[in-house]
């Protein structure tokens, strides 16, 4: 799969214990707004926006409009019927609100929660577990609402009656056995036949793999990202063909609108380099050419001077069980100059970290090039990056571009700050930490430790190591395990170097206790607290969760002889306790060496064995215990964001300034987005 993927923001169950805020939340700005199901909605501020020039603000407005114009795409990518479900919920929303104070208040509130979950997950499958969730209200109540609204507001097909529509949509919404999982990763099953994601139609896993095996030349040193921007279908003749996402193909109405706003942004670009990158991105959207996509990524990497930056395109492949096709996303930002000093200090020493890595010499890069590291202030997120957002980004994903031209590694500074502020009052730390010393250490250094881990994961983790000549990309060799192994490799680079005196010499870590705080938090999360994200009886399937559990269980087992890490039972509660931090670092180094070997050599069997042995299975008794302890804390395990609103100040047809507003109502923002950015038909 990809060489670098996002480090997903850990919600209260991990971020709370690991990264308590050092500064109290300002009284005038409320970060947390509401909580429902297993979700909590937050808001983030955009500090420094007012100090930007009018031209910079104008460009950020255009880029934000481009970002939001692709919103429909990710719904359709996640599941074929998602747009129809979302538009049904939007049509009945107002009628449902009228029932909140009457005899049907309980049913109305349950439907409200379901609608918010759909908006949060960009569809009917959980944004993290990818399992389908269903409304807790009755199907009869839902049907009554649908039949009670004006039929013209419903997403009916041509000639379809309301009765036929209800019969069609009800099982899609209510039946847990219809499209039960968006992305299935269970070994031994046909991953396409058992996944609801809308990237394939009428195609088996074996057929898809054979299709790309014929296309891909492993000797090609600069391969395009086959399948990245298309849907693979079986046509009427029984042949496989790709439906490309472009202004001339699938998703054309939304993509044309993205192009419109990108062109306006290019017209006010900060410099020629930035304009060139945006022009190539526009060309990619217009043509769908993956060669042009590579050209754009090279131009984007070269743009290091601009304060404003944007991620926009089909980028991450978590939604494809085979790791070829990417979901649409966009992150609009500008550089935080002061905070960038910390991450830049690490990026500037990338070659030193590579040279001193415990991986085999033949797997090390002899010349680490072009790593641009910075902290950014996010202005707008859309598609697969919202409402649930990354906290770190390292792109591009193409291995050969990273090797020849470098990469950009960023920490989403104001997003991390909002998470820290929201988790400051969490009780999870005292509930799950082993002793008061661990609590004190995390409270003192946890926020910094978490940021450093993200910095190194993105900057030197994903950028490290190299694949042996002729081996092929990880999506070809490691297949469905590629993402989990890659995230594990990047995590291990960060974990291995956190205690290194080099960080103190660079002035980014004031004490060895910073590393201890992160080691405590990482193993606590990997062995215990992340279990709150699973229902009883479930195994671990999400890539980041598999990676964390795999690493944590591996070091627990391999360190048993020396009692490096132990699981301690006290008063009926289980805790993780690290007895030897130095030996633990050594174990992290050993596992990093092995993961890099697996990646470099394309050792599928070894990679599969690591994930299946350590990263998948869950102890049911421990799981039951952890869920009971966590339930008492009343903390939602996942968090996401209401986006700021950019409001242009006009003088005639010209934008003279842009103001930032901070909406507080998640549902209202989703309804507004549904009206303004509903650009695609129900089926594409």
Tokens, residue 24:
């109290």
Angstrom distance (rounded) from CA 149 to CA 310: 40
CA-nearest of 91, 57, 59, 70 to 676 is: 70
At 27, the pLDDT band (50, 70, 90 cuts) reads: low
Give the other-Cβ count within 10 Å of 90's Cβ.
21
Provide the b/e sequence for 359-374 (b: ≥16 CB within 10 Å). Answer: beeebbbeebebbbbb
* pLDDT at residue number 16: 42
Per-residue CA distances from 250 to 82, 143, 324, 505, 622 (Å): 16, 32, 17, 52, 47
Q: Cβ contacts of residue 359 below 8 Å, gap of 6+? A: 464, 465, 592, 593, 596, 597
Angstrom distance (rounded) from CA 194 to CA 183: 8
pLDDT for 13 equals 39
Mean predicted confidence (pLDDT) in 318-347: 94
> What distance in Å separates the CA atoms of residue 543 and residue 182, rounded to the nearest whole number?
14
Amino acid 371: pLDDT: 79
Q: What is the DSSP code string of 187-241? A: TTS-TTTT---TTEES--HHHHHHHHHHH--TT-SS---TTTTEEEEE-TTS-EE
Structure confidence by residue, pLDDT tens digits, 112-131: 999 999 999 999 999 999 99
The answer to whether residue 487 scores a pLDDT higher than 90 is yes
Could you give phi then psi for residue 474, rounded to 5 degrees? -65, -30
**CB contact set of 684 (below 8 Å; sequence gap of 6+):** 76, 250, 251
| β-pair partners for 378 | 333
- Pull the structure tokens for residue 253: 């109405």
Which residues have CB under 8 Å from 60's CB, separation 6+? 49, 52, 308, 332, 334, 379, 380, 646, 658
Alpha helical stretches, state H, 410-481: 413-423, 428-432, 436-456, 474-477
Sign for the CA dihedral angle at 137, 140, 144, 147 comes to: positive
Q: pLDDT confidence of 427, banded at 50, 70, 90?
A: confident
What phi, psi does 311 have (nearest 5°)? -105, 125
Q: How far apart are CA 3 and CA 463, in angstroms?
A: 8
Q: Is 33 exposed, middle or buried (0-12, 13-18, 19+ CB in 10 A)?
A: middle
Select, from the ranges 1-15, 293-307, 416-430, the one with the highest average predicted confidence (pLDDT).
293-307
Task: Kindly tell me if the per-residue pLDDT of 15 is higher than 80.
Answer: no
pLDDT average, residue stretch 320-344: 94
Structure confidence by residue, pLDDT tens digits, 319-330: 999 999 999 999
Question: Which strand (E) or helix (H) includes residue 378?
Answer: strand 371-383
| 220-237 average pLDDT score | 95
- Largest Cα separation within the chain, whole Å, is 75
User: Can you give the pLDDT at residue 458?
Assistant: 87
What are 168-192's pLDDT values in tens digits? 999 999 999 999 999 999 989 999 9
Q: What is the mean pLDDT of residues 471-491?
A: 93
**pLDDT value of residue 96:** 98
Q: How many CB atoms lie within 10 A of CB 107?
A: 22
When mean pLDDT is compared across 89-93, 305-309, 420-424, the lowest value belongs to 420-424
125 in helix, strand or coil?
strand
Q: Is the pLDDT of residue 19 over 70?
A: no
Q: Answer whether residue 303 shows pLDDT above 80.
A: yes
Q: Which residue has the tokens 């009755």?
A: 138
pLDDT digits (tens, 9 = 90+) for 348-382: 999 999 999 999 999 999 998 877 889 999 999 99
Q: Helix (H, G, I), strand (E, B), or coil: what is residue 541?
A: coil
| pLDDT in the model for residue 6 | 31
Q: How confident is the model at residue 4 (pLDDT cuts 50, 70, 90)?
A: very low
- pLDDT tens track for 526-549: 999 999 989 899 999 899 999 999
- What number is the average pLDDT over the span 277-291? 98
The pLDDT value given to residue 2: 34
SS (H, E, C) 15-33: HHHHCCCCCCCCCCCCCEE
pLDDT(81) > 70: yes
Nearest to 34 by CA among 636, 662, 651: 636
Name the residue among 332, 329, 331 with its Cα closest to residue 316.
329
- Are residues 17 and 25 in contact, defined by beta-carbon separation less than 8 angstroms? no
Average pLDDT over residues 271-280: 98
Residues 255, 262: Cα–Cα separation, whole Å: 10
Task: Judge whether 454 and 487 are in contact, CB under 8 Å.
Answer: no
pLDDT of residue 21: 36
Q: Cβ distance 565 to 523 under 8 Å?
A: yes
- pTM to 2 decimals? 0.85
Cα–Cα distance measured from residue 659 to residue 57, given in angstroms and rounded to the nearest whole number? 8
Question: Given a cut of 50, is residue 575 above it in pLDDT?
Answer: yes
Across all residues in the chain, what is the average pLDDT? 93
475 — pLDDT class (breaks 50, 70, 90): confident
First to last CA, the chain: 26
CA nearest neighbour of 344 among 157, 508, 139, 546? 508
């Amino acid at each position: 799969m990809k060489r670098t993927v996002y480090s997903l923001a850990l919600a209260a169950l991990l971020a709370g214990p690991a990264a308590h805020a050092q500064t109290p939340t300002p009284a005038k700005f409320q970060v947390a707004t509401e909580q429902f199901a297993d979700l909590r909605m937050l808001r983030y501020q955009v500090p420094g926006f007012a100090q930007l020039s009018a031209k910079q603000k104008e460009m950020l407005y255009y880029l934000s409009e481009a970002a939001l114009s692709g919103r429909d795409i990710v719904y359709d990518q996640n599941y074929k019927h998602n747009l129809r479900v979302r538009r049904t919920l939007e049509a009945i929303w107002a009628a449902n609100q009228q029932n909140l104070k009457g005899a049907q208040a309980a049913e109305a509130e349950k439907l409200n929660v379901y609608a918010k979950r759909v908006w949060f997950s960009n569809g009917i499958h959980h944004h993290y577990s990818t399992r389908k969730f269903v409304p807790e209200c009755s199907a009869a109540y839902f049907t009554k609402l649908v039949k009670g609204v004006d039929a013209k507001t419903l997403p009916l097909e041509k000639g379809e009656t309301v009765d036929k529509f209800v019969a069609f949509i009800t099982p899609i919404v209510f039946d847990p056995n219809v499209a039960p999982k968006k992305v299935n990763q269970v070994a031994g099953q046909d991953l396409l036949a058992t996944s609801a994601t809308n990237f394939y139609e009428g195609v088996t896993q074996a057929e898809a793999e054979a299709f790309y095996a014929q296309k891909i030349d492993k000797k090609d040193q600069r391969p395009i990202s086959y399948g990245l921007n298309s849907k693979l279908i079986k046509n009427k003749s029984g042949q496989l063909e790709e439906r490309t996402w472009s202004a001339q193909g699938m998703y054309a109405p939304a993509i044309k609108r993205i192009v419109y706003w990108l062109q306006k942004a290019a017209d006010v670009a900060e410099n020629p380099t930035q304009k060139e990158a945006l022009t190539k991105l526009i060309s990619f959207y217009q043509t769908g050419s993956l060669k042009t996509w590579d050209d754009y990524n090279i131009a984007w990497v070269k743009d290091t001077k601009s304060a404003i930056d944007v991620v926009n395109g089909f980028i991450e492949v978590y939604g494809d069980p085979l790791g070829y096709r990417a979901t649409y996303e966009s992150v609009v930002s500008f550089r935080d100059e002061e905070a960038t000093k910390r991450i830049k200090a690490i990026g500037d020493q990338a070659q030193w970290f590579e040279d001193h890595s415990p991986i085999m010499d033949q797997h090390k890069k002899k010349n680490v090039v072009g790593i641009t590291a910075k902290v950014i202030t996010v202005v707008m997120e859309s598609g697969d990056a919202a409402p649930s957002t990354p906290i770190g980004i390292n792109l591009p994903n193409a291995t050969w571009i990273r090797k020849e031209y470098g990469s950009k590694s960023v920490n989403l500074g104001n997003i991390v700050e909002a998470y820290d502020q929201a988790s400051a009052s969490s009780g999870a730390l005292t509930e799950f930490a082993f002793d008061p010393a661990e609590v004190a250490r995390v409270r003192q250094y946890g926020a910094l430790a978490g940021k450093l881990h993200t910095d190194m994961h993105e900057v030197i983790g994903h950028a490290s190591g190299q694949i042996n000549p002729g081996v092929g990309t990880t999506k070809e060799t490691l297949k469905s395990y590629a993402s989990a192994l890659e995230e594990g490799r990047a995590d291990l680079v960060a974990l291995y170097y956190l205690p290194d005196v080099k960080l103190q010499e660079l002035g980014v870590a004031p004490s060895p206790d910073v590393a201890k705080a992160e080691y405590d938090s990482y193993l606590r999360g990997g062995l215990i607290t992340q279990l709150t994200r699973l229902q009883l009886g479930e195994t671990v399937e999400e890539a980041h969760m598999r990676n964390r559990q795999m690493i944590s269980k591996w070091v627990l087992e391999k360190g048993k002889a020396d009692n490096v890490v132990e699981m301690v039972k006290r008063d009926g509660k289980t805790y993780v306790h690290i007895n030897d931090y130095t030996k633990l670092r050594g174990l992290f180094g050993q596992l990093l060496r092995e993961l890099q070997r697996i990646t470099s050599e394309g050792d599928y069997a070894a990679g599969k064995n690591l994930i299946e042995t350590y990263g998948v299975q869950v102890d049911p008794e421990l799981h039951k215990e952890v869920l009971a302890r966590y339930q008492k804390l009343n903390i939602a395990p996942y968090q996401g964001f209401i986006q700021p609103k950019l409001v242009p100040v006009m003088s005639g047809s010209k934008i003279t300034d842009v103001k930032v507003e901070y909406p507080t109502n998640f549902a209202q923002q989703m309804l507004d987005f549904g009206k303004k950015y509903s650009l695609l038909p129900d089926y594409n």
